[in-house]
């Protein structure tokens, strides 16, 4: 039901509130059933017929979805808290009230302000955790492939790493590695590594304006030279001569194997966005960050790359998240070298 309500909100933009009422600390036994009946009766009086009520965690946490609460949050949680507490106070004694826990979770949740490191509130997405638990063994295999693959790439790539580092230092001033804050799965922030392909202290306003226009679908932002373009600006004045080659061949991406080894990324998955890109997302775009860990390569890189528009890129990411398997990952990994060597859709 939470999944369906999230989908409705993506279309209507009307927020809902999930209330979780924990009863796990109430005394067990026959008396507990009577207390539960009182709680349910109180909740019926404090909610609307259109609100969804049921077990969030069977036997211990009751969930209520307050639907269609509008586009502004204001003091919604406080108002609902007062209403529910008043109803419970009239049905239960103080000794039982003290054993009940209440929490309120507004969707869409603000990933920038709430959660750990600005991450999404996991209590709004229990269906995703359930799906991940069903594939826990396969995800362990995926993680083993990530560790083995990244270690192999880092060891075999050491000579190439050294050559690229020397070229970067000889052709422009600044550090060899470019570090940037990106958003991983559930919006968790991490430090993203690339070989520096831009001049040091470059202004990112140009890219920010381009991405905002691209995502919002403003005229002139979806195509350059007659081709759809995602995140890529042709003839970017910030790019060094060596950086153009690194980007064209995707060699600037090699340090991301460190991110994979650290568990922040996977070999295969959606690309991790910059926080200012995320701020321009429509609500449905967020789903690309929920169901899969970000990766170095993915369906977008091997099927679309910079030839497709932003919405189509998101659809490819969602397609991957819904149909993910170890075999699918291996197919994408085998297709990636050809996409890199041909440079099709790269800038």
Residues 68 and 135 in one domain: no
The Cα-based distances of 112 to 92, 103, 121, 149, 191 in angstroms read: 38, 20, 11, 32, 16
Q: How many helices (H) and strands (E) does the chain have?
A: 14, 10
Determine the pLDDT at residue 165: 95
Does some domain include residue 115?
no
How far apart CA 336 and CA 301 sit, in angstroms, is 7
Does some domain include residue 118?
no
Residues 194 and 248 in one domain: yes
Determine the pLDDT at residue 234: 66
Does some domain include residue 79?
yes
Phi then psi for residue 227, to 5 deg, are -125, 140
Count of residues making up the chain: 347
Number of C-beta neighbours around residue 64 at 10 A = 21
The end-to-end CA distance of the chain, in Å, is: 43
Does some domain include residue 123?
no
Rg for the chain (alpha carbons), in Å?
A: 24
Residues 177 and 48 in one domain: no
Does some domain include residue 117?
no
Residues 59 and 142 in one domain: no
Name the strands in the sheet holding 52-57, side by side, starting at the edge strand that comes first in the sequence: 52-57, 61-70, 15-22, 101-107
Determine the pLDDT at residue 290: 86
Residues 159 and 238 in one domain: yes
- Into how many domains does the chain fold? 2
Q: What CATH number corresponds to the domain at position 23?
A: 3.30.70.270
And the tokens for 61?
């946490």
CA angle 208, 211, 215 (to 5 degrees): 140
Does some domain include residue 80?
yes
Residues 80 and 141 in one domain: no
Does some domain include residue 119?
no
Residues 89 and 143 in one domain: no
Q: Are 314 and 298 a contacting pair, CB within 8 Å?
A: no
Residues 148 and 272 in one domain: yes
Residues 100 and 236 in one domain: no
Q: Looking at 93, 108, 123, which one is the last position of a domain?
A: 108
Tens of pLDDT along the chain (347 residues) come to 999 999 998 888 888 999 999 887 776 665 677 888 888 888 888 888 889 999 999 888 999 999 887 655 557 777 788 888 888 888 877 777 777 888 888 888 777 544 444 678 888 988 887 777 778 888 999 999 999 999 999 999 999 999 999 999 999 999 999 999 999 998 899 999 999 999 887 877 888 888 888 887 763 444 444 444 455 666 678 899 999 999 888 899 999 999 999 999 999 999 999 998 888 888 888 888 887 899 999 988 887 655 667 888 888 898 898 888 999 999 999 998 887 777 655 55
Determine the pLDDT at residue 228: 46
Does some domain include residue 120?
no
Residues 72 and 175 in one domain: no
Q: Looking at 56, 77, 108, which one is the last position of a domain?
A: 108
Q: Give 79's contacts (C-beta < 8 A, 6+ positions apart).
A: none
Q: Which domain holds residue 60?
A: 2-108
Determine the pLDDT at residue 73: 53
Q: Looking at 45, 74, 108, which one is the last position of a domain?
A: 108
Residues 50 and 104 in one domain: yes
For the entire predicted model, the pTM comes to 0.80
Residues 311 and 198 in one domain: yes
Q: Give 347's contacts (C-beta < 8 A, 6+ positions apart).
A: 229, 232, 233, 234, 236, 247, 248, 306
């Amino acid at each position: 039901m939470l999944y369906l309500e999230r989908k409705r909100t993506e279309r209507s933009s009307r927020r809902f509130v999930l209330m979780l009422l924990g009863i796990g600390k109430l005394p067990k036994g026959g008396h507990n059933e009577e207390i539960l009946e009182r709680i349910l009766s109180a909740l019926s009086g404090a909610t609307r017929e259109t609100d969804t009520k049921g077990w969030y965690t069977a036997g211990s946490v009751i969930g209520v979805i307050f639907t269609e609460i509008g586009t502004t949050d204001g003091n919604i949680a406080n108002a609902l808290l007062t209403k529910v507490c008043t109803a419970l106070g009239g049905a239960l004694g103080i000794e039982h009230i003290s054993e009940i826990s209440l929490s309120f979770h507004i969707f869409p949740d603000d990933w920038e302000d709430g959660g750990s490191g600005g991450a999404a509130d996991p209590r709004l997405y229990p269906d995703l955790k359930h799906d991940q638990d069903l594939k826990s063994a396969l995800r362990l295999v995926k993680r083993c492939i990530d560790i083995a693959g990244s270690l192999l790439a880092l060891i075999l790539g050491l000579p190439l790493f050294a050559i690229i580092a020397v070229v970067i230092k000889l052709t422009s001033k600044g550090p060899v590695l470019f570090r940037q804050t990106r958003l991983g799965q559930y919006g968790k922030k991490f430090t993203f590594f690339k070989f520096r392909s831009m001049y040091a202290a470059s202004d990112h306003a140009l890219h920010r304006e381009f991405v905002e226009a691209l995502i919002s679908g403003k005229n002139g932002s979806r195509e350059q030279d007659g081709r759809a373009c995602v995140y890529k600006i042709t003839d970017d004045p910030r790019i060094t001569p060596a950086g153009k080659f690194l980007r064209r061949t995707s060699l600037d991406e090699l340090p991301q194997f460190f991110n994979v080894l650290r568990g922040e990324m996977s070999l295969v998955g959606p690309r991790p966005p910059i926080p200012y890109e995320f701020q321009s997302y429509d609500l449905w775009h967020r789903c690309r960050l929920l169901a899969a860990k970000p990766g170095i390569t993915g369906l977008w890189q091997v099927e679309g790359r910079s030839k497709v528009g932003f919405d189509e890129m998101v659809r490819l990411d969602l397609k991957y998240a819904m149909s993910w398997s170890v075999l699918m990952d291996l197919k994408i990994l085998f297709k990636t070298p050809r996409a890199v060597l041909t440079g099709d859709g790269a800038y």
